[in-house]
Chains A and B, each alone.
Chain A
């Protein structure tokens, strides 16, 4: 059986109805708020008349939680007497940051200060045959959305309106969608990111990993990272805990073809050949079992299917894995023994962005099984049992029941736990056989042109839509495809939902407006309410200010908004039982068998491998290099590239090239090159070469999130290459629909391929 489905990538591009509008290229009615921006800079001037820095100001502290990434650290905004935000500092009581924000959180004020922000609603229009945007009032924009959404609702049903979202605005809009009867909701955070590990761990332990991951890194004796680059991904408390682990002398084992920052902190760096991690994981299991160094008591007491696993990995010796991974057998044995010595205080990290090769759920299963053999789940220094507190739902009428939604659209992936963005995109391309036609989109807080691979498919879908709304704070590339653009105010200018953290102990945090919303921007909760009222679901929005909602919720939870404004974060005692397994009593895992399922009958019944197997993945053809991508600690996806503070730290990505490759191709440090992938897709812009021993000779690497093509992003425009644009070959995970993106290969061009082309 062919385990992998390769996405169709031969889509003919017709003439585009929805022509991409670079918001910069506006004709009449363009956004001319430069004077406002200049005033802003003046009012934010850092210096008094004598040009001496003002350091002894009186500040007011206002609580918020960060929205620059998904970690959502709670902190304080320090506001001076001129109502100007001077700095952001972490909340000491917060288990996400322990008083220390990361560079993005510290520089979060740049999101508010960015003079390139969306400033007023925009509506697509045609002037002299040119498609462009014109400024609109909120009423005009919202009326149009109400009218168009009602049209789609009446013609096709409310289910045909889809929401693609990320972060805090998504929650408010989800409520709106549920209110009018659509559950056609998806986010790239699942099928383009952490979905496989959630499904893989759910199959094994009965509960998904979730965010923040319940890894007890601070007390671990051995941390194993499979392609996870903690430190470059700035998942705050996890970075802090890795630092604690280094202080405690923990053994760190990093498996990565690239010498990541984490690899440089490791006792063992396994410079693995890309796409072969599964072989290593199986060989580690082999060593643990056949050297008899796994946690026998734990395996006997809590797991199911050990004998089948033992049989399964019999032939997966370190010598077998050596031929595949290029990791020497003695290193495989040594590292397996290091894990066993530390067990059960071992964290084999589930990873976060794990949509790599299409067999990712199975790789996550292998990681979960390995943790099971080491007895680390539910053990100190391994994985703890997380707990959160339920924030009561603000009363509203019962939601209507949609006839179909994300489940039906993604039905071919039996174990998907959330909406699959790519399937929603496919369902938006007209096709007579499609029983679930999607006709309109609302895209909120996610720049899908940089988070969804296979641009041609995405553009085809957007072209076919009857209506598309984008909600964002910045003129991200995706806004250029919208019919209506709604400017959201930043997290520093609004109330939002109470953050209920899943952690060692439950906690809540509040987000309170630090300053008034700048320009003509509005919070997402307000947009949801206004659109709801225009779609006849006003009863679901029984408040005039979101403050009323959280005030009610906080009172229900035994606190108050006043108290929360003073403390920012409230920690609650655990109620669900001990943090780790109580060895003296029995424990039932939330799996069908009540045990840790090393062997998965559930997968077997669905026709999948019950135990993970190694499959060979495509390798780069001659002259091509595998395109690997990752994170930089000062940026989140593509959303921070234009943030003045963070752009100052890193304003473009570079192409990491091994010196051997540089010699062959005669590349110089800092030279501009262009990339072409296996499907002849050319990078829009050029990228500077970085020659470094930190990367393998068969792959190149770049930080994700650069190469913006909207001129309105004055700092980020044309800086670097957008890796996602070059990811056209997707291998879909048949179990949950994750889009494997690490099987794309690029060739390096030293001449500008666009020179003789008109763009």
Chain B
């Protein structure tokens, strides 16, 4: 997933679209907005971005899961099998992005990149709804995909690269 911070206005549409698409109970969220302000008036910079599970290549949450509920599927998406999850919370502790939470029903929940929609050839709900069209989802292994092209032509950053998790959400800057 590639997110253009130059276009995001931080409206939270991605948050509410995810909640309604994935039946995330009110009070919880799988994605969220962060706002960073730098500088001193009137030389100020503002960065708004939509954050979520980074579906890391080297995912600590998968490694530390005692039951194998946290797992990676073909294509790189990290998922949780709710029925196998004992809610121990080790994965929450291990995630440098604070992307996981305990669902009120006990299991650990997080962004799935709307796996159920991808299967139908649709985009994740957040990507589909974004009024600024600042989110792109696609195949990074395909050099001709929009996401690959964006990463070739634009500057980008990763979140917490020092954690060594090799995250798969890229922020254009």
Residues on A facing B (Cβ under 8 Å): 46-47, 50-56, 86-90, 97, 99-103, 106-107, 109, 231-232, 234, 236, 239-240, 242-244, 246-247, 259, 261, 263-265, 269, 271, 633-634, 644-646, 648-650, 658, 692-697
**Closest 8 pairs between A and B when the two form their complex, measured CB to CB:** A231-B9, A633-B11, A264-B46, A271-B42, A46-B23, A243-B132, A87-B20, A103-B13
The contact string, 1 if C-beta is below 8 Å from chain A, for chain B 24-57, is: 0111000000000101111011111000000000
Cβ-based interface call for B129 (8 A): yes
- Tell which of A52, A87, A102 touches B131, judged by Cβ atoms closer than 8 Å: A102
Interface assignment of B1: CB less than 8 Å from any CB of chain A = no
| Contact B132–A56 (Cβ < 8 Å) | no
Which residue on B lies nearest to A55, using beta carbons? B116
Taking CB as reference atom, which chain B residue is nearest A107? B16
Bound Cα distance A232, B35 (Å):
13
- CB closest chain-A residue, reference B129: A100
A259: B residues at CB distance < 8 A: 37, 41-42, 44, 46
Known A52-B82, A99-B128, A633-B12; further 5 A-B contacts with Cβ < 8 A = A55-B22, A88-B20, A243-B131, A243-B134, A697-B41
In the bound complex, residues from chain A placing their C-beta under 8 Å from that of B106 are 51
List CB contacts (< 8 Å) of B72-106 with chain A. Answer: 82-83, 105-106
List residues of chain B with CB under 8 Å of any chain A CB. Answer: 6-7, 9-13, 15-17, 19-23, 25-27, 37, 39-42, 44-48, 82-83, 105-107, 116, 128-134
Give Cα A100–Cα B26 distance, bound, in whole angstroms: 21
Q: How far is the CB of A55 from chain B (nearest CB, A)?
A: 5
User: Is B130 in contact with A109, judged by CB distance below 8 angstroms?
Assistant: no
Assuming the A-B contacts A53-B22, A240-B131, A644-B26, are A694 and B37 also in contact, with contact meaning beta carbons closer than 8 angstroms in the complex? yes
A-B pair count, CB < 8 Å, reads 136
Q: State whether A103 touches B9 (Cβ < 8 A).
A: no
A89 to B9, alpha carbons, bound, how many Å? 20
Min distance, Cβ B124 to any Cβ of chain A, angstroms: 13
Separation in Å of the B22 CB from the closest CB of chain A? 6
Asked if A645 contacts B26 (CB within 8 A), the reply is yes
Question: Are A234 and B131 in contact, with the CB atoms below 8 A?
Answer: yes
Is there contact, CB below 8 Å, between A239 and B132? yes
| Minimum Cβ distance to chain B for residue A580 (Å) | 25
Q: Which residues of A contact B20 (CB under 8 A)?
A: 86-88, 106-107, 109, 645
Interface pairs (19), CB distance under 8 Å:
A47-B105, A53-B22, A53-B23, A100-B133, A102-B131, A103-B12, A240-B133, A243-B133, A247-B7, A264-B46, A271-B41, A633-B10, A644-B26, A645-B20, A648-B27, A649-B16, A658-B41, A693-B44, A695-B41
Q: How distant is the Cα of A293 from the Cα of B26 in the complex, in angstroms?
A: 55
Instruction: Give the distance in Å from the alpha carbon of A648 to the alpha carbon of B12 in the complex.
Output: 11
Q: Find out whether the CB atom of A269 lies under 8 angstroms from the CB atom of B42.
A: yes
* Bound-state Cα–Cα, A271 to B44, Å: 10
Which residue of A has the minimal Cβ distance to B117? A55
Contact indicator A54/B37 (Cβ below 8 Å): no
Q: Chain A's nearest CB lies how many Å from the CB of B40? A: 6
Choose among A55, A88, A90, A97 the residue with the greatest number of B CB atoms under 10 Å from its CB: A55
Bound CA–CA A644/B133 (angstroms): 26
Cβ 8 A contact of B11, one of A47, A87, A231, A695: A231
State in angstroms the CA–CA spacing of A232 and B132 once bound together.
Answer: 12
Q: Which residue of A lies closest to B81 (CB)?
A: A52
Instruction: Report Cα–Cα, A89/B16, bound state, in Å.
Output: 12
| Contact (A261, B46) CB under 8 Å given A232-B9, A649-B15 | yes
A residues within 8 A CB of B9? 231-232, 239, 261, 265, 633
Residues of B within 8 A of A97 (CB): 131
Q: How long is the Cα–Cα vector from A89 to B125 in the complex, in angstroms?
A: 10
From B107, B128, B129, residue with most partner A Cβ within 10 Å: B129
Please, which residues of chain B bring their CB within 8 A of the CB of A692?
37
**CA A101 to CA B128, docked complex, whole Å:** 10
The smallest beta-carbon distance between B117 and chain A, in angstroms, is 9
A100–B44 CA distance with the chains assembled, in angstroms: 30
Q: Is the CB of B7 within 8 A of A646?
A: no
With both chains docked as a complex, state the minimum distance between the C-beta of A276 and any C-beta of chain B, in angstroms.
Answer: 15
Contact A100 B41 (CB under 8 A): no
**Quick one: given A47-B105, A55-B22, are A106 and B37 in contact (CB under 8 Å)?**
no
Closest chain B CB from A474 CB (angstroms): 17
Known A55-B22, A694-B46; judge A100-B131 contact (CB<8 A): yes
Contact of B23 among A55, A90, A697 (CB under 8 A): A55
Please state if A103 and B82 are interface contacts (CB–CB under 8 Å).
no
Contacts of B107 in A (CB 8 A): 51
Contact, CB under 8 Å: B39 / A693: yes
Q: Which residues of A contact B23 (CB under 8 A)?
A: 46-47, 53-55, 86
Q: Decide: B83 and A52 in contact? CB cutoff 8 A.
A: yes
Contact at A645–B132, with CB atoms within 8 Å?
A: no
State the CA gap A645–B29 with chains docked (Å). 11
Residue from B11, B25, B83 in contact with A103 in the complex, judged by beta carbons closer than 8 Å: B11
Instruction: Report Cα–Cα, A52/B112, bound state, in Å.
Output: 14
Chain A residues with CB below 8 A from B37, complex form: 259, 692-694
In the assembled complex, the Cα of A234 lies from the Cα of B21 at a distance in Å of 21
Residues of B within 8 A of A645 (CB): 16, 19-20, 26
**Residues in chain A near residue B105, CB distance under 8 A:** 47, 51
Partner of B132, one of A55, A240, A646, A649: A240
Q: Using Cβ atoms and an 8 Å threshold, which residues of chain A touch B132?
A: 231, 239-240, 242-243
Measured CB to CB, the nearest residue on chain B to A235 is B131
Let me know if B116 and A56 touch, CB within 8 A.
yes
Task: Check if A243 sits within 8 Å of B7, measured CB to CB.
Answer: yes
Write the nearest CB–CB distance from B43 to chain A, whole angstroms: 9
In the assembled complex, the Cα of A90 lies from the Cα of B125 at a distance in Å of 12
Chain B contacts for A263, CB-based, 8 A:
46
Which residue from chain B places its CB closest to the CB of A264 in the assembled complex?
A: B46
Residues of the B chain whose Cβ atoms lie less than 8 Å from the Cβ of A696: 41
Expressed in whole angstroms, the Cα–Cα distance for A693 and B128 within the complex equals 33
Partner of B13, one of A86, A106, A694, A697: A106
Looking at the assembled complex, report how far the CB atom of A49 sits from the nearest CB atom of chain B, in whole angstroms: 11
Residue of A nearest to B42 (CB): A271
Which of chain B's residues has its CB closest to A260's CB?
B46
Contact indicator B13/A102 (Cβ below 8 Å): yes
Output the least CB separation between A651 and chain B (Å).
Answer: 11
Nearest Cβ on chain A to B114's Cβ, whole angstroms? 9
Nearest-CB residue, chain B, relative to A244: B133
A51 CA to B25 CA in the complex, in Å? Answer: 12
**From B106, which residue of chain A is reached at the shortest CB distance?**
A51
In this complex, which of A50, A109, A649, A694 has the most chain B Cβ atoms within 10 angstroms of its Cβ? A649
> Which residue of B6, B11, B82 contacts A634 across the interface (Cβ within 8 Å)?
B11
A649 surroundings in chain B (CB, below 8 A): 12, 15-16
| Neighbouring B residues of A246 by C-beta, 8 Å | 6-7
| Identity of the chain B residue whose Cβ is nearest the Cβ of A97 in the assembled complex | B131
In the complex, which of the residues B16, B39, B116, B130 contacts A646, with contact meaning CB atoms closer than 8 Å? B16
Per the bound structure, the CA–CA distance linking A357 and B134 in Å amounts to 36
Distance in angstroms between the alpha carbons of A101 and B23 in the assembled complex:
18
Q: Which of B27, B128, B132 has the most CB of A within 10 A?
A: B132
CB proximity of A399 to chain B, nearest CB, Å: 40
Q: Complex: how many Å from CA A432 to CA B45?
A: 58
CA A15 to CA B123, docked complex, whole Å: 61
Instruction: Report the bound CA distance from A160 to B94 in whole Å.
Output: 69
Q: Which residues of A contact B39 (CB under 8 A)?
A: 693
- With both beta carbons as reference points, the residue of chain B lying nearest to A634 in the complex is identified as B12
Q: In the complex, are the beta carbons of A51 and B12 less than 8 A apart?
A: no
Which residues does chain A contribute within 8 Å of B42, judged by CB atoms? 259, 269, 271
**A101 and B129 within 8 A (CB):** yes
Bound complex: CA A694 to CA B47 (Å): 12
In the docked arrangement, what's the CA distance between A99 and B133, Å? 11
Q: Does B11 lie within 8 Å of A234, measured CB to CB? A: yes
Is B41 within 8 A of A648, CB to CB?
A: no
B44 to chain A: which residues have CB within 8 Å? 259, 264, 693-694
| Closest B residue by C-beta to A246 | B7
> Which residues of chain A are within 8 angstroms of B83 by Cβ–Cβ distance?
50, 52
Q: Which residues from A are CB-within-8-Å of B7?
A: 243, 246-247, 265
Residue of A nearest to B116 (CB): A55
Q: How far is the CA of A316 from the CA of B160 in the complex (A)?
A: 51
